[in-house]
Chains A and B, each alone.
Chain A
Amino acid sequence: MMLTMAGVHAHYGHIHALRGIDVEVQVGEIVTLIGANGAGKSTLMMSLFGNPRASAGRIVFDGEDITRVPMHEIARRGIALVPEGRRIFQRMTVLENLQMGATHADPANYAADLARVQALFPILAERQAQRAGTLSGGEQQMLAIGRALMSRPKLLLLDEPSLGLAPIYIRKIFQIVRELNRDHGMTILLVEQNANQALRVAHRGYVLQHGQITLAGTGRELLESPEVRAAYLEGGGHG
């Protein structure tokens, strides 16, 4: 098992954002989380880094309990996040952003990792000396993904990577997710508003509602589930 969240609760002050989350991700899987705005999807991902810290429950990653591990140690353990809103370092160059992604990686791997990421996203090589803030939204998303890959993560978290992007970039992102998983065996946890596409690429999925998992199943099962169809796929959803 790559990741196990067992009975995880989390709060922002008085807001009870996660209410007993049980989620599992197996090695080599793509797992997707779907749910409306404010359901707690981003909080779930951030809670793996202890921000907010789980107030109850256990998080086990790669066989080790990481519930109380400091945030900067989590990346070292092998989890990388492509956060909501990308959070690129705007006033750094594209290359510096990628170097930041390799903060705790073995310097011996740097050249190979950079080459691999630049092969995946050629634009990041072409624009490497440019300030990241001048990239388009889609390019910044590529950079955010590239930055996360620079650390050779065991588990890649993607928080709404297609949000607000042109269709060409959305296709590119789903294609990359598929490739990373199929060709490199990367384990991926994907949050998407675009439930239809997400459930199609994912092996399994969870539906999150008001900080609770209300439904779980394979991608296909969820695609065919009447509740999911009504709430997230047929007009009722956001994509």
Chain B
Amino acid sequence: MAYALQQLINGLTLGAMYGLIAIGYTMVYGIIGMINFAHGDIFMVSAFIAITAFTLLAAADVTSIPLALTFVLVVAIFFTSAYGWAVERTAYRPLRGSTRLAPLISAIGMSIFLQNAVQLTQGARVKPIPPVLEGGVVLWDAPGFAVQIGWSQLLIIVTTVVLMIAFTWMITQTPFGRQQRACEQDRTMAGLLGVNVDRTISLTFMLGAALAAVAGVMVTVYYGVVDFFIGFLAGIKAFTAAVLGGIGSLPGAMLGGLLIGLIEAFWAAYLWAEYKDVATFSILCLVLMLRPSGLLGRPEVEKV
């Protein structure tokens, strides 16, 4: 029981990060009908920016953790949104209105480019940093097993919940969110009514990237190591989360992220830890075969 509770906490932490990344996939798909395969790499870029920023701060003798975290978040969000913007401008916008396959190939090319750019500038070695947030609180000192939530886990879960609430509010309640949804439903009509469609698409990429940036910083704080391959793995898992929740659906992405995180944690704890990534890919295949519209998606959504 105590052990299961611990897995629940671990799973929630993972799920929060997958959910944050999944939102970027789902929103971009919603507005341009295309999977942004470079999105996972945007997350990886953010993790590297975070590592670099933490290292710089350590060198500058900054010891205040809240200050350091805020600084790293701001820097990571700034650079990754700029990345998101640039990816859309260079790889996708020129191909808008062409065949469906062209932007897909462009996306994969962009992903390879980002991976190699980071590998070249950062080196292929695994990058460790000293732990940023150590320790935690013991929630339940059960016989033989203490259920504990780490400060970094708490930070991840709370930040994610706050961000998701804010994000949902923005999409459902603000004029920008309304215009964003209008572009999803009928881009031409939105344009006829005076919505700057290109700008809305750019902002959608930037927002998705910003959330992935937060996830990138969190993963750095949580694991303390980053390698250039995490973009691929986390990207695939978050993509699975988006598909499981129903691609194009915002609550779906959040729910899907949560489920994938929980499944991964419990699978690793009770089944085969070595095969935890297989679990995700099996789910992806199952969902695509049995219910391509996902849990909360609209059935009429077109498949890629």
Q: Can you list, as one digit per residue, whether each of B181-208 has a CB less than 8 Å from chain A (1) or not (0)?
A: 1100110111111111100000000000
Select from chain A the residue with minimum beta-carbon distance to B191. A71
Overall SS of chain A's interface:
mixed
| Cα-based distance from A92 to B181 in the complex (angstroms) | 8
Specify which chain A residues have a CB less than 8 angstroms from the CB of B175 in the assembled complex. 99, 103
| CB-nearest residue of chain B to A91 | B185
Bound together, the chains give a CA A74 to CA B197 distance in angstroms of 13
B115 at the interface (CB under 8 A from A): no
Partner of A75, one of B181, B185, B188, B194: B194
Task: Give A172 Cβ to nearest chain B Cβ, in Å.
Answer: 23
Is A101 part of the contact surface with B, judged by Cβ < 8 Å? Answer: yes
User: B179 on the interface (CB 8 Å rule)?
Assistant: yes
The stretch from A81-89, A203-211, A220-228 touching chain B is A81-89
Least Cβ–Cβ distance between B121 and chain A, in angstroms: 38
Q: Which parts of A142-188 form the interface with B (CB within 8 Å)?
A: 147, 151
A22 within 8 A of B: no
B185 to chain A, nearest CB (A): 5
- B185 near A51 with CB under 8 A, answer no
Central interface residue in B175, B191, B192, B197, by most chain A CB within 10 Å = B192
B291 within 8 A of A: no
- A/B pair count, beta carbons within 8 Å: 58
Q: Using Cβ atoms and an 8 Å threshold, which residues of chain B touch A101?
A: 193
Contacts A49-B191, A72-B196 hold; do A87 and B186 have CB atoms under 8 A apart? yes
B192 partner, pick from A71, A92, A96, A99, beta carbons under 8 A: A71
CA distance A76 to B195 in the complex (A): 10
Q: Which residues 51-108 in A have Cβ within 8 Å of B in the complex?
A: 51, 71-76, 80-81, 83, 87, 89-92, 96, 99-101, 103-104
Interface status of B178 (Cβ within 8 A of chain A): yes
Q: Which residue of A lies closest to B186 (CB)?
A: A87
Task: Report the interface size for chain B: residues with CB under 8 A from the other chain.
Answer: 17
User: For B197, what are the chain A residues with a Cβ–Cβ distance below 8 Å?
Assistant: 71-72
Q: CA separation between A96 and B177, bound complex, in Å? A: 11
Chain A residues closer than 8 Å to B185, beta-carbon distance:
89-92
Q: Are B191 and A83 in contact (CB under 8 A)?
A: no
Can you list, as one digit per residue, whether each of A32-49 has a CB less than 8 Å from chain B (1) or not (0)?
Answer: 000000000000000001
B194 lies within 8 A of A103 (CB): yes
A100-B191 contact in complex given A72-B196, A91-B181, A91-B185, C-beta closer than 8 Å? no
Quick one: which of B132-157 are within 8 Å of A by CB? none
Contacts of A104 in B (CB 8 A): 193-194
A107 and chain B: residue at smallest CB distance = B175
* Neighbour of A103 across the interface among B179, B181, B186, B188, CB < 8 A: B179
Contacts of B196 in A (CB 8 A): 72
A68 CB to nearest B CB, Å? 15
Q: Determine whether the beta carbon of B182 is less than 8 Å from that of A75.
A: no
Give Cα A151 to B195, complex, Å: 13
Are A103 and B189 in touch, CB under 8 angstroms? no
> Across the interface, do A89 and B181 meet the contact criterion of CB distance under 8 Å?
yes
B190 contact from A51, A74, A80, A100, Cβ within 8 A: A100
Contact, CB under 8 Å: B186 / A100: no
> Given A89-B185, A92-B182, A92-B185, are A103 and B191 neighbors across the interface (CB < 8 Å)?
no
Central interface residue in A49, A87, A103, A147, by most chain B CB within 10 Å = A103
**Residues of chain B contacted by A81 (CB below 8 angstroms):** 192
Shortest CB–CB separation between residue B99 and chain A, in angstroms?
14
Distance in Å: Cβ of A189 to nearest Cβ of chain B: 14
Provide the residues of chain A in CB contact with B192, threshold 8 Å.
49, 71, 74-75, 81, 83
Which chain A residue shows the least CB distance to B172? Answer: A96
Complex Cα gap A80–B191 (Å): 11
Chain A residues with Cβ below 8 Å from B181 are 89, 91-92
Cα of A92 to Cα of B178 in the assembled complex, Å: 9
Q: Are A100 and B188 interface neighbours, CB within 8 A?
A: no
> What residue in chain B is nearest A51 (Cβ atoms)?
B188
Q: Which residues of B contact A76 (CB under 8 A)?
A: 194
Chain B residues closer than 8 Å to A151, beta-carbon distance: 193-194
Shortest Cβ distance from A104 into B: residue: B194
Inter-subunit contact B189/A72 (CB<8 Å): no
Find out whether the CB atom of A89 lies under 8 angstroms from the CB atom of B179. no
B199 to chain A, nearest CB (A): 9
28 contacts between A and B (CB under 8 A): A49-B191, A49-B192, A51-B191, A72-B194, A72-B195, A72-B196, A73-B194, A74-B194, A76-B194, A80-B193, A81-B192, A87-B186, A87-B188, A89-B185, A89-B186, A89-B189, A91-B181, A92-B178, A92-B182, A92-B185, A99-B175, A100-B179, A100-B182, A101-B193, A103-B194, A104-B193, A151-B193, A151-B194
> Which residues of A come within 8 Å of B, CB atoms?
49, 51, 71-76, 80-81, 83, 87, 89-92, 96, 99-101, 103-104, 147, 151
Report, nearest first, the 8 A-B pairs whose CB atoms are least far apart: A75-B194, A104-B194, A87-B189, A103-B194, A71-B191, A72-B196, A89-B185, A103-B193
